Amino acid sequence: MNPAALFAGGLAAGLAAGTASCAAVQGGLLIGLVSGNASGNAAGPSRALPPVAAFLTGRLAAHTALGALLGLAGAAVQVGPGTRAALLVAAGTVVVVLAVRMLRRRHEAGCAPPGEVPARAPGGRPPPDHASVGIGHDCAPRTAPGRTASAACGTASPGTAAPLKSTRGGTRSPTLVRAAGLGAATIFVPCGVTVGMEVVAVSTGSASGGAAVLAGLALGTAPAFAALGLLVRTLASTRLAALAGIAALAAGLFTVGSGLRLGGWLPDFSQAQFGSPAAAAGRALTGTDGVQRLTVWATAEGFRPGIAVAAAGRPVEIAFRTRDNRGCTRTLAIDDRDVVLPVTGERVVRLAARPEGRLRYACGMGMYVGFVRFERVP
């Protein structure tokens, strides 16, 4: 296919379906970047533009390079569901650590946001040690003898042009190299739409075609990432700074949870239902060729039926069907492989005979799971 058409397809997928899903899974890295390094005197969105632009540039470069590799080498370059789940957990853990560090720093520093006047003691005098207004309450920062609160909070004294410094002597603003590196790292935590586009890149069989697909996807999702980064950075430079830290913490926990669900490392609370025959809404039918056949609908709300039943010791074919589905369940990880479904249509997954037990599968983001229970035939 023409690289221009492939680029347009990737761009459309990013704008239409990738905005929500990719921002949910990969946005935690951006939130952790801009909120975990927000300074007390940041001037709102203007300070966020360089790191956000570097993040998006690194993301675009990495996706383009990955697309070229997939087009050349095919499935050999792809990351399996198990590895992807581990990477999701690792990325989410990094974001959680950044969020906790930010919340602790805000709590301990108690610096006033830009433009705010420090609280005054009765009589109009400044409070001792030039204490600033904390986030939601008045508190004095912890300062060493002979240092002003403004110095402890990382701001320059009136009339000086000292750059913003941390207590360790380095700048608090993230370096552009680090921002670009985090953007590039998003290829290791792909969302469901990304997995689908990676399969398209493999099918092109060319470096230019694969690069065009993933470059289009990265550009299609860029507006959502830019808006997210600027919004969080703006919050981090106001009295609502704590909300930025909470958002980063929630994003990190969401990413960790997605990885744990995708890898099957969380307890299945629905397992208690397996003992009830009524819990199985679908049962395989055996054809004259001895192959069992199941039908599962992949919907925006999950897989229906969520639990299906088949006989152990016999091969089974699962027909995954969709109808105008552009959500997470269009891609699923089953039997240690990724499967991409059409927006509307059907794809059949054939499984070899399996012993008694259960098979678990999940959508590409780990948000929705389904089960096939294999029973012993009397």
- Three-state DSSP at 340 gives strand
d(CA 72, CA 93): 33
d(CA 212, CA 319): 31
pLDDT of residue 268: 62
- Work out the end-to-end distance of the chain between its first and last CA atoms, rounded to an integer number of angstroms: 52
36 CB-near residues (< 8 Å, 6+ apart): 98, 99, 101, 102, 248
- In this structure, the strands spanning 337-340 and 307-311 are unpaired
- In this structure, the strands spanning 331-334 and 337-340 are antiparallel
- List average pLDDT for each run of 10 residues in the chain, which is 378 residues long: 84 78 78 62 62 92 94 76 85 84 70 47 48 41 46 42 42 71 86 82 87 94 88 72 78 85 74 43 84 93 91 95 88 89 93 93 86 88
d(CA 193, CA 59): 15
Phi and psi at 225, nearest 5°, equal: -65, -40
d(CA 320, CA 118): 62
Phi and psi at 334, nearest 5°, equal: -140, 135
pLDDT of residue 258: 83
- Three-state DSSP at 158 gives coil
If you classify domain 269-375 with CATH, what class do you get?
mainly beta
d(CA 64, CA 363): 24
User: In this structure, what token pair is assigned to residue 58?
Assistant: 């690194």
pTM: predicted TM-score of the whole model, two decimal places = 0.67
DSSP code string of 88-114 = HHHHHHHHHHHHHHHHHHHHHH-PPPT
Q: What's at 28, amino acid-wise?
A: G
d(CA 354, CA 236): 53
pLDDT of residue 66: 93
Question: Smallest Cα–Cα separation from 296: which of 284, 279, 288?
Answer: 284
d(CA 108, CA 210): 48
Q: With beta carbons less than 8 A apart as the criterion, state whether 250 and 92 touch.
A: no
Q: How many CB atoms lie within 10 A of CB 139?
A: 18
Q: With beta carbons less than 8 A apart as the criterion, state whether 332 and 363 touch.
A: yes
Map 172-183 to HEC letters. Answer: CCCCHHHHHHHH
DSSP state of 40: T
Q: How many CB atoms lie within 10 A of CB 211?
A: 26
pLDDT of residue 27: 79
pLDDT of residue 327: 80
Question: Smallest Cα–Cα separation from 320: which of 283, 338, 337, 345?
Answer: 345
Within the chain, all domains assigned CATH 2.60.40.420 are found at 269-375
Q: With beta carbons less than 8 A apart as the criterion, state whether 321 and 297 touch.
A: yes
156 CB-near residues (< 8 Å, 6+ apart): 150, 162, 163, 164
